[in-house]
Amino acid sequence: MREFAARFIRSPEGVAGLVLTTCLLAMALSAPYLFPRDPLSIVGRPLLAPFADPAFPLGTDRLGRDVLAGLMHGARTSLLVGISAAVVAILAGAIVGTLAGFSSGWFDEALMRVVDAFQIVPGFLLALAFVSVMGASLPLIVLAIALGAWTGPARLARAEVLSIRERDYVAAAWVIGMHPLEIAFKEVLPNALPPVLALVSVIVAGAVLTEAALSFLGLGDPNIVTWGSMIAEGRNVLRTAPFLSIVPGLGLVAMVLGVYLLGEGLVEALARRRIRQ
Amino acid sequence: MFRFSLSRRALLYPVALTIGLAILPLSPAAQEAPEGGRLVVAADSEPRDLNPAVVASNGVFFISSKVIEPLAEASYEGEDGLEPRLATSWEGSEDGLSFTVNLREGVTWHDGEPFTSADVAFSALEVWKPLQNLGRIVFSSLEDVETPDEHTAIFRFSEPTPPQMIMKAMPAVTAVLPRHIYEGKDIATNPTNTQLVGTGPFKFAEYRPGEYYRLVKNENYWSEGEPQLDEIIFRVLPDRSAAASALEAGEIHLAAFSQVPLVDLERIGQVPGLEVITEGYEALTYQLVVEINHRNEALADRRVRRAIAHAIDKDFVVDTIFLGYAAAATGPVPKNAPEFYNPDVPVYDFDVEKANALLDEAGYPRGDDGTRFSLRLLPAPFFAETRQFGDYLRQALAEVGIRVELINNDTPAHIKAVYTDHDFDITVSPPVFRDDPAISTTILVRSGIPNGVPFSNQGGYENPELDALIDEAATTVDTAERVALYNEFQRLVVEELPLINVAEWSFTSVASEKVLNVGNNPRWVVSNWADTALEP
């Protein structure tokens, strides 16, 4: 473990990603304590420029809402949606992939055609359609994003399972009379999981962007502040108050970059260990 | 016919020509009154069906009003606020059962046929009354139109119909269609609806989907010396920011209907050669209204509705959301309709303490988390301002302990949820005041309106006293009596608050300083532009 940490620290992108995500995580976790009021509440003069008033370091928007409070609470929403969507997608993908890979035959075929069907529709369109039909609330948005993201993990998990199920210890499990489902989820899945987990960073980054895009189009939950809705709101005054779009936009960049770099660093550190083994 | 494309070069060509002329001293062109020229206007919507006698909407009027004329147009100075167009004079009978219109002589349709009273009778009986959204209300009891001669039309009604309402409705409702083209064919699907034939100062020349509509001068227009312009191009520019840049680049002369967003007006007003014009929309007033679902137990209590009214800071709404391009409302009739407006109504000041006291009194104490009860708010998606007001209202009501859950829908879903399914507690709605309370205002509070009628009382509000007042005013012929009844109507509505009027606003135009006579009547954008001119 210590060796792994040392290897991780040696990769510059991993460290940069760790620093960025830690900062954003700290922002998200501290938001309700630093800004206990609803971040959508109107607190000051509208369209105050950043750094002009110490009470509102990042200024205020068209209605006089604190941009800094929005940024902090928005980090919370973004991270929450990103991580929840990734968890749902990985979970669903791993289960479907394991079932397909382990069962083989017509059941495998059927499951994989379902995966194909989902994969040919662009994930964003899928989310868009789902949200416009089902309505916009946070759990539904998470589900909508996961709907377009679970196919990657499913394919990867199936491929891993196909190779693992031929191993000796799986044969041994059959011999001692374990239930097939027990073998699939107790013996095979845990060993198939690590490569699938490498997808987490990609899915989280994608989910954060999809959520922002949905909010930007007005399909997010209007009762919570998100970076996408802040950018959409700021777009109306882009020429007079560009900071309203730039500030949450930078947040988005930092979040996606941070998560992605962290993922890269982790994968690289893990890969080196494998090579050495 | 020559072909042309609206390239930048084509538009710059006259500009280059003008510069050339300006260099020549005392050129004859510079001394003449500005006549001729091609006016290029931004069109934000692209209606396919342009028949104004069927679809009374601003997007259709914007283009069709130059081609098809009403009996009379709204006016700042004219008698009864009207200026004659196809009618020269009009008079209602004492009993309200007939309305006589004298028509202009020597008018011809664009295809050369003469315009007669038969056209008016046909339009009234076959189009305005059965087909038009507003005409259905105004002419609901129209029985017949008599045509004793070619230039007189007498409208006969089965119920007393106030002449004041007809006069107020004339500009928007009475676009006259050519009988010889429409008679005996299905009006709604007639191909002429996309290739208009009218009597107006401009003739419909062509429409290129996604590009432009082109209107050309009617050489045989009945008014001597008009129109001034040779051509009007409505260039389709659905993107709001595109209109602002096109104005700055000199590619278009005029953007109407607030196509330039409010936040950009201050900046664009500073651009040399462009001006922001707020006149010319007085008869197109929108009202920002909080519509209430009275099926909700809390909202059925008048004290709760009054508390909500006290919780709204109208000055904030006017100054911050509308950036000053609006006025605070006092009641269901806007100040822009001075003949009906009654300032003597109860006032609900912005007063959070009073709102809290009223809610306590109504039996809705704050819970442990400071919340009294929750409401679902559906802001209408039609304007940026209605959505923004929704965001504001959520915060304003949070101050008095009412938790609001915002639900955003697209337009069809919103109309269905509010006006058919009644699946809302409060909604932000922008109804239009159509110059007479009988046309589109009283239905906002009258009970007994069938489900699914948009912009009507779908909140389940019932008040027999108010209903009786509305019914009495609808058939009162005498103007003074009628106005008195509507004054009482306003007082009662504000006292009972079946809905809450927050603000009144209209659009703005941004025009090149070269365009003359902009905004010279209360419906200027949707009037015929016969006197509009373009300085070279």
Are residues B432 and B284 in contact, defined by beta-carbon separation less than 8 angstroms?
Answer: yes
**pLDDT for the residue numbered A53:** 86
Q: Are residues B296 and B396 in the same domain?
A: yes
B271 in contact with A, Cβ within 8 Å? no
Distances (CA, A) of A184 to A170, A171, A175, A190: 9, 12, 14, 9
Say if B274 falls within a structural domain.
yes
In degrees, rounded to 5, the angle at the alpha carbon of residue A91 between the alpha carbons of residues A86 and A95 is: 150
Are residues B213 and B193 in contact, defined by beta-carbon separation less than 8 angstroms?
Answer: no
- Identity of the residue in A41, A63, A236 whose CB atom sits nearest the CB atom of B263: A236
B188 in contact with A, Cβ within 8 Å? no
CA-CA distance, A197 to B307, in Å (whole number)? 54
Q: Are residues B377 and B365 in the same domain?
A: yes
Q: Are residues B305 and B223 in the same domain?
A: no
Q: Which residue reads 């083209």 in tokens?
A: B181
CA-CA distance, B38 to B29, in Å (whole number)? 16
- Nearest-CA distance from A161 to chain B in Å? 44
Q: Are residues B334 and B380 in the same domain?
A: yes
Q: What is the CATH number of the domain that holds B326?
A: 3.10.105.10
Q: Are residues B228 and B254 in the same domain?
A: yes
- Nearest-CA distance from A235 to chain B in Å? 10
Residues in chain B: 536
Q: Which residues of chain A have pLDDT under 50?
A: none
Asked if the Cβ–Cβ distance from A222 to B406 is below 8 Å, we say yes
Query: Residue B154: enclosing H or E segment and its boundaries?
Result: strand B152-157
Dump pLDDT digits (tens) for B393-410: 999 999 999 999 999 888
CA-CA distance, B141 to B246, in Å (whole number)? 47
Are residues A56 and A67 in contact, defined by beta-carbon separation less than 8 angstroms?
Answer: yes
Dump pLDDT digits (tens) for B481-513: 999 999 999 999 999 999 999 999 999 999 999
**pLDDT for the residue numbered A277:** 55
Amino acid at position A233, single letter: E
**pLDDT for the residue numbered B69:** 92
Closest by CA to A264, choosing from A207, A205, A192, is: A205
Say if B238 falls within a structural domain.
yes
Residues 6+ apart with CB under 8 A from B77: none
What's the whole-number mean pLDDT along residues B219-238?
A: 89
A139 in contact with B, Cβ within 8 Å? no
- Nearest-CA distance from A54 to chain B in Å? 22
- Burial class of residue B228 in the structure, from the number of CB atoms within 10 Å of its CB (0-12 exposed, 13-18 middle, 19+ buried): buried
Q: Are residues B262 and B243 in the same domain?
A: yes
Say if B525 falls within a structural domain.
yes
Q: What is the DSSP letter of B383?
A: -
Asked if the Cβ–Cβ distance from A222 to B398 is below 8 Å, we say no
Q: Which residue reads 């929005």 in tokens?
A: A70
Q: Are residues B248 and B310 in the same domain?
A: no
B125 in contact with A, Cβ within 8 Å? no
- Nearest-CA distance from B419 to chain A in Å? 19
Are residues A217 and A231 in contact, defined by beta-carbon separation less than 8 angstroms?
Answer: no
CA-CA distance, A118 to A152, in Å (whole number)? 10
Amino acid at position B154, single letter: I
Could you give the angle at which helices B479-496 and B464-474 cross, rounded to 10 degrees?
160
- Identity of the residue in B320, B391, B410 whose CB atom sits nearest the CB atom of A46: B320
Q: Are residues B292 and B392 in the same domain?
A: yes
CA-CA distance, A8 to B340, in Å (whole number)? 77
Instruction: Report helix, strand or coil for B287.
Output: strand
Q: Are residues B520 and B411 in the same domain?
A: no
Alpha-carbon dihedral B435, B438, B439, B443, rounded to 10 degrees: 130
Q: How confident is the model at residue B104 (pLDDT cuts 50, 70, 90)?
A: very high
CA-CA distance, A47 to B136, in Å (whole number)? 46
HSE, CB side, 13 Å, CA atoms: give it for residue B471. Answer: 8
Asked if the Cβ–Cβ distance from B391 to A63 is below 8 Å, we say yes
In this prediction, what percent of chain B has a pLDDT beyond 70? 94
What's the whole-number mean pLDDT along residues B168-178?
A: 90
**pLDDT for the residue numbered A30:** 93
Q: Are residues B250 and B224 in the same domain?
A: yes
Ordered by where they begin, the domains of chain A are 2-43+52-276 (1.10.3720.10)
CA-CA distance, A124 to B291, in Å (whole number)? 35
Q: How confident is the model at residue B22 (pLDDT cuts 50, 70, 90)?
A: very low
**H helices then E strands: how many in chain B?**
18, 22
- Identity of the residue in B261, B390, B398 whose CB atom sits nearest the CB atom of A38: B398
Are residues B126 and B182 in contact, defined by beta-carbon separation less than 8 angstroms?
Answer: yes
CA-CA distance, B243 to B42, in Å (whole number)? 7
CA-CA distance, B399 to B393, in Å (whole number)? 10
Range of the domain at B454: 285-505
**DSSP secondary structure, A221-269, as one string:** -TTS--HHHHHHHHHTTTTT-THHHHHHHHHHHHHHHHHHHHHHHHHHH
- Identity of the residue in A46, A136, A236 whose CB atom sits nearest the CB atom of B408: A136
**pLDDT for the residue numbered A276:** 58
Dihedral pair phi/psi, residue A150, rounded to 5°: -80, -15
**pLDDT for the residue numbered B27:** 38
Asked if the Cβ–Cβ distance from B263 to A218 is below 8 Å, we say no
Q: Which residue reads 């109804």 in tokens?
A: B431
Residues 6+ apart with CB under 8 A from A219: A128, A131, A132, A136, B408
Average pLDDT, chain B: 87
- Identity of the residue in A38, A64, A240 whose CB atom sits nearest the CB atom of B320: A64
Strands B231-236 and B38-43: parallel
Q: What is the CATH number of the domain that holds B515?
A: 3.40.190.10
**pLDDT for the residue numbered A55:** 87
A136 in contact with B, Cβ within 8 Å? yes
**pLDDT for the residue numbered B276:** 92
Q: Looking at beta carbons, which residues of chain B come within 8 Å of A222?
A: 390-391, 406-408
**pLDDT for the residue numbered B475:** 87
Q: Are residues B363 and B253 in the same domain?
A: no
Q: What is the DSSP letter of B449?
A: P
CA-CA distance, B424 to B418, in Å (whole number)? 6
Q: Looking at beta carbons, which residues of chain A come within 8 Å of B394?
A: 40, 223
Whole-model pTM over 0.90: no
CB neighbours (10 Å) of residue B416?
Answer: 14
CA-CA distance, A97 to A191, in Å (whole number)? 13
Asked if the Cβ–Cβ distance from A64 to B264 is below 8 Å, we say no
Q: How confident is the model at residue B26 (pLDDT cuts 50, 70, 90)?
A: very low
What's the 3-state SS for B88-150? EEEEECCCCCEEEEEECCCCECCCCCECCHHHHHHHHHHHHHHHCCCHHHHCCCEEEEEEEEC
Closest by CA to B145, choosing from B154, B132, B136, is: B154
Are residues A149 and A211 in contact, defined by beta-carbon separation less than 8 angstroms?
Answer: no
- Identity of the residue in B263, B320, B395 whose CB atom sits nearest the CB atom of A41: B395
**pLDDT for the residue numbered B34:** 75
Say if B415 falls within a structural domain.
yes
In the numeric block, which tokens belong to residue B433? 């005041």
Closest by CA to B529, choosing from B233, B193, B282, is: B233
Number of Cβ pairs < 8 A linking chain A and chain B: 45
- Residue B18: is its pLDDT beyond 60? no
Closest by CA to B50, choosing from B36, B39, B37, B62, is: B62
Query: Residue A147: enclosing H or E segment and its boundaries?
Result: helix A138-149
Q: Are residues B405 and B457 in the same domain?
A: yes
HSE, CB side, 13 Å, CA atoms: give it for residue A82. Answer: 30
**pLDDT for the residue numbered B292:** 95
Residues 6+ apart with CB under 8 A from B319: none
Asked if the Cβ–Cβ distance from B321 to A63 is below 8 Å, we say yes
Split into its structural domains, chain B has a count of 2
Please give the residue of chain A at the shortest CA–CA distance from B408: A222
In degrees, rounded to 5, the angle at the alpha carbon of residue B285 between the alpha carbons of residues B280 and B287 is: 155
Dump pLDDT digits (tens) for B68-102: 999 999 988 888 889 999 999 999 988 889 999 99
Q: What is the DSSP letter of A149?
A: H
**pLDDT for the residue numbered B336:** 87
What's the whole-number mean pLDDT along residues B252-277?
A: 88
Are residues A188 and A165 in contact, defined by beta-carbon separation less than 8 angstroms?
Answer: yes
Asked if the Cβ–Cβ distance from B320 to A40 is below 8 Å, we say no
- Burial class of residue B411 in the structure, from the number of CB atoms within 10 Å of its CB (0-12 exposed, 13-18 middle, 19+ buried): exposed
CA-CA distance, B526 to B522, in Å (whole number)? 9
